[in-house]
Structure 1
Amino acid sequence: MSAATHAAPEGRISDGAANIAARIERLPITPRVFWTRNIIGAATFFDGYTVLAIAYAMPVLVREWQLSPGQVGMILSAGYLGQLIGAVVFGALAERLGRLRVLLFTILLFVAMDVGCLFATGPVMMIALRFLQGIGTGGEVPVASAYINEYIGAKGRGRFFLLYEVMFLFGLLGAGLIGYLLVPVYGWKAMFAVGLVPAVIMIPLRFFMKESPRWLAAKGRYAEADRIVADLEQSAVARGGPLPPPVPTAAPKAAGSDWRELFGGIYLKRTLTIWALWFCSYVVANGTITWLPTLYRETFGLDLRTSLGYGFITSAAGVVAAVICALLIDRVGRKRWYAWAFLLASLPLLVLTSLGATSAMQVLLLAGLAYAVVQTITFSLYLYSAELYPTRLRAIGTGLGSAWLRLGSSAGPLLVGAVISGLGIRYVFAIFAAVLLAGAAVTVAFAIETRGRVLEELSP
């Protein structure tokens, strides 16, 4: 077979891509794929840490900069608005330039802005830096999700992928732990200084990874894809003996389609459904977790360390729930899990509303429980989004879908600030419960099941 790297003739692309997909589907998890997931996981850990670092800096910044609830909401939301742009722009670029080039650029961008946050002197500067940082973090996660999905077969895909996604939640947890230990002693800048460490370690490891063979084949670069898959096959044979013959899969459509496919045919309903799921889950999850440390201190009068400690407990509950989801979702199925999670998470919020949210302990227990259940949805939607689209649309489809994550994430903190100022804290939880019930209705009516199905068969 030729080792040329030029694009294959258009007529061969579909057959070549189908062959690559069939060979990947029969592979076990090889050491290269395992470590690729872990390297990407290091980046995703830092993404999670970066997203929540500002929440644990905020109880100090509120008093140091004399911030109003509206300014707090704007600072918390700025990063998410930047992520919206990053998700759309870099998702599109990843379809044209490849997954790895875009991944490297996004992490360099959000690391540079993390350095900038150390030197912020007021709310305007912090809003601008968090916005730019969000562009990088918003681009990294959806592209990484498409990349990892394209390396693994249908069997066990949910568990393998979601154990990677748990790293994002460990990043949230790490932010809570660092906030609890360091912010009371060293101040808010400790959050951003510590956040640089995993990035510096992880960037050089990016060069260990190879481009997605499914993406290469979809672009007609079949010889390059063949070399990568052949290397994986040799590793699998050396470790476990002969591989079964590849089972033919549906030949994907030749490359050259564009983003408008997302809004036609079978993909229209999928696109609108995943947008709704992203928005509903993240309005509640990030509206809750980013405000809790500040609420504990400013509304309930707790001291700084206790406020940060309560926030950490909530983050930890989310990680535990997410690990349970990762281990079980391939058995339960995506649609059934999401429908029940949306419904069950609304119940403690309704109870909290009826009780009036009059104590920090009520909020810790009931809002924390709701957050943990919703977190099983938020962290697994990258898996589900990537399963809904073909290789030629996977990064842009996931990116556009996660743009609604950013809209929901930015709307959540702003909503909390506005409702607290105008109506009171109990009505925040009533609105959040209504949003979750809407998510449950959309899931039941329109979501499809993807468990155990080959990507090319799901999305021709």
Structure 2
Amino acid sequence: MSDATGALLRSSSPAAGSAPDITNRMERLPFSNWQVKARVLIGTATFFDAFDALAIAQVLPVLTPLWGLNGAEAGVLISVGYLGQLAGGLLFSWIAERRGRVLAMVLAIATFTVMSIACALSWNFESLLAFRTLQGLGLGGQVPIAAVYISEITKAHGRGRFILLYELIFSVGVVAAGLAGFWLVPHLGWQVMFLVGALPLLVIPVLLRWLPESPRWLAGVGRESDVDAAMARIEDKVEHATGRELPPVSHHQAPPQQTRSSWAELFRPPYLRRTLVVWTIWIGAYLVYYGISTWLPSPYRTVFHLPLEVSLQYGLVSNCVGLGGAALCALTIDFVGRRIWFAVALGGSAICLFLLALSGLDQPSDLMIFGSGAYFFAAAAAIGVYLYTPELYPTRIRAIGVGTATAWLRLASMVGPIVIGAFVGYGLPTVFVVFGVIALAVSVIVTVFAVETKGKVLEDLSP
């Protein structure tokens, strides 16, 4: 190689530890056991995040007669968790932007696990209400920050499948909470549910030892003394896991990245349209998802007068079908693309809801078949948006963007029952038509306005 050619290559190569250098080094990493182990460690906490979020539903049948709770008090205990999660998503996303992804994630895990122990020690309605509110802060902060971190340590090729297979753990945790509550609460008492939910405390030391801080975040905030060490640590672990040398770094030229972050940037071009579209997806997907999952078992009892066991079995069928929809999304979204998947999933959910309304609801099988179909598609959209949202924003506001977007999940979970209550007086078909119209409207908005992110480097997507 001539001196002139060597000088040209050196001059065109980004400086070590700079944001472009980290991007190039991250994109050349093959998938290995290190990424899988990181996903499993974080996924363990995510599993218990889901477990703790649903634990209250498993203990209320015991606490209601024990403490003499009325319907309003039981409802408040459920709703206050969502309120805490809304605040936690905003709080811990701010911490993640200022102090780092790993610290924010660990603090969120510590918050919801310590408060889970406190919930187990509750002595009355007021104490549980206070502890459950504080627990919600951690529950709302862990999952979005985890999604941000995993996005930032994953290369563009295969990112969708890798991240969504992690997100499936949350759905498994939801099912596990129901199964555990079915056995633990009658045999060992309601407190055990909360004590089991505190197990992620044991994972925190492992997370701190095993996970380096996100090199993309370190580069973005200018921590030059730390960024190269963190990246080199990841490269060593991947090289050791694969047993072979890493491929050479390709000098990909990403657009220059700004370093200053601000919440207001979510509402400025080019991010304003992305923000509005992704918020619409969060609202529409989770209105349908939570509306179906929390309310669908009720008509089996109130309309068709089925035994409780049969009603729960029908509800379990829908839950399993929804898990299948989420799994299908995880396995195919890198081939199909984000925009098409969201449009099809929300549109498919709308069609199933319309067919359910037109069926006349003469048989419980109609409710199970078409309701499960709607849940299948809604679950796919609900899991996919956890992948899509981090892809829409640059590193400097990625955590803020995801944390703010997940706030709409919490609002949707609170608004869903209100929507049902407002329209159920007009008959069950009206409720399903309303949810169908919402899903269809969001599908059209996604088709027209959503940005496709499949296979693209994060830095290429957002200047």
TM-score normalised over the length of structure 1: 0.88
Match of 1:114 in 2: 116
1:147 aligns with 2:164: no
Q: Describe the SS at the equivalent of 1:145.
A: helix
Letter of the structure 1 residue corresponding to residue 152 of structure 2:
E
**Alpha-carbon distance change, 295 to 189 in structure 1, aligned in 2, over 3 angstroms:** farther
Letter of the structure 1 residue corresponding to residue 454 of structure 2:
R
Structure 1 vs Structure 2: percent identity of aligned residues? 42
Match of 2:136 in 1: 134
Letter of the structure 1 residue corresponding to residue 166 of structure 2:
Y
Match of 1:353 in 2: 357
Provide the rounded CA distance (Å) in 2 between the counterparts of 1:451 and 1:194.
Answer: 38
Match of 2:90 in 1: 88
Alignment map for 1:312-331 (pairs within 5 Å): 312-331=316-335
Match of 2:11 in 1: none
Provide the rounded CA distance (Å) in 1 between the counterparts of 2:117 and 2:296.
Answer: 25
Provide the rounded CA distance (Å) in 2 between the counterparts of 1:213 and 1:325.
Answer: 28
User: Relative contact order (C-alpha < 8 Å, sep 6+): which is higher?
Assistant: 1
Letter of the structure 2 residue corresponding to residue 459 of structure 1:
S
Match of 1:442 among 416, 422, 445: 445
**Alpha-carbon distance change, 367 to 132 in structure 1, aligned in 2, over 3 angstroms:** farther
Q: Per-residue deviation at 1:337? A: 0.4
**Alpha-carbon distance change, 429 to 116 in structure 1, aligned in 2, over 3 angstroms:** farther
Q: Which is worse superposed, 396-405 or 221-230?
A: 221-230
Match of 2:9 in 1: none
Q: Per-residue deviation at 1:96? A: 0.3
Q: Per-residue deviation at 1:307? A: 4.2
Bigger Rg, structure 1 or 2 = 2
- Cα deviation digits, residues 270-301 of structure 1 (max 9, x gap): 01111110011111112222334555556655
**Alpha-carbon distance change, 313 to 54 in structure 1, aligned in 2, over 3 angstroms:** farther
Alignment root-mean-square deviation, CA: 2.8
Q: Which is worse superposed, 49-58 or 400-409?
A: 49-58
Q: Describe the SS at the equivalent of 2:18.
A: helix
**Alpha-carbon distance change, 64 to 370 in structure 1, aligned in 2, over 3 angstroms:** farther
- Cα deviation digits, residues 324-349 of structure 1 (max 9, x gap): 11110000000000001001111222
Letter of the structure 1 residue corresponding to residue 93 of structure 2:
G
Match of 1:32 in 2: 34
- Cα deviation digits, residues 168-216 of structure 1 (max 9, x gap): 111112123223444565665554344334x244233222211101000
Q: Per-residue deviation at 1:87? A: 1.0
Provide the rounded CA distance (Å) in 2 between the counterparts of 1:391 and 1:19.
Answer: 15
Alignment map for 1:372-451 (pairs within 5 Å): 372-420=376-424, 422-451=425-454
Q: Per-residue deviation at 1:312? A: 3.1
Q: Describe the SS at the equivalent of 2:232.
A: helix
Match of 2:159 among 149, 157, 179: 157
**Alpha-carbon distance change, 412 to 177 in structure 1, aligned in 2, over 3 angstroms:** same
**Alpha-carbon distance change, 253 to 284 in structure 1, aligned in 2, over 3 angstroms:** same
**Alpha-carbon distance change, 360 to 129 in structure 1, aligned in 2, over 3 angstroms:** farther
Counterpart contact for 1:59–1:304, Cα < 8 Å: no
Letter of the structure 1 residue corresponding to residue 441 of structure 2:
A
TM-score normalised over the length of structure 2: 0.87
Match of 1:22 in 2: 24
Counterpart contact for 1:283–1:412, Cα < 8 Å: yes
**Alpha-carbon distance change, 45 to 242 in structure 1, aligned in 2, over 3 angstroms:** closer
Q: Per-residue deviation at 1:107? A: 1.1
Q: Per-residue deviation at 1:425? A: 4.2
Counterpart contact for 1:13–1:218, Cα < 8 Å: no
1:202 aligns with 2:203: yes
Q: Which is worse superposed, 292-301 or 94-103?
A: 292-301
**Alpha-carbon distance change, 48 to 356 in structure 1, aligned in 2, over 3 angstroms:** farther
Q: Per-residue deviation at 1:434? A: 1.7
Counterpart contact for 2:82–2:136, Cα < 8 Å: yes
**Alpha-carbon distance change, 163 to 71 in structure 1, aligned in 2, over 3 angstroms:** same
Q: Per-residue deviation at 1:249? A: 3.1
Q: Which is worse superposed, 128-137 or 263-272?
A: 128-137
Match of 1:77 among 76, 79, 89: 79
Alignment map for 1:277-288 (pairs within 5 Å): 277-288=281-292
Match of 1:9 in 2: none
**Alpha-carbon distance change, 358 to 125 in structure 1, aligned in 2, over 3 angstroms:** farther
Show structure 1 runs of 5+ residues with no match.
Answer: 1-11
Counterpart contact for 1:277–1:439, Cα < 8 Å: yes
Provide the rounded CA distance (Å) in 2 between the counterparts of 1:19 and 1:140.
Answer: 29
Provide the rounded CA distance (Å) in 2 between the counterparts of 1:68 and 1:353.
Answer: 33
Provide the rounded CA distance (Å) in 1 between the counterparts of 2:143 and 2:126.
Answer: 26
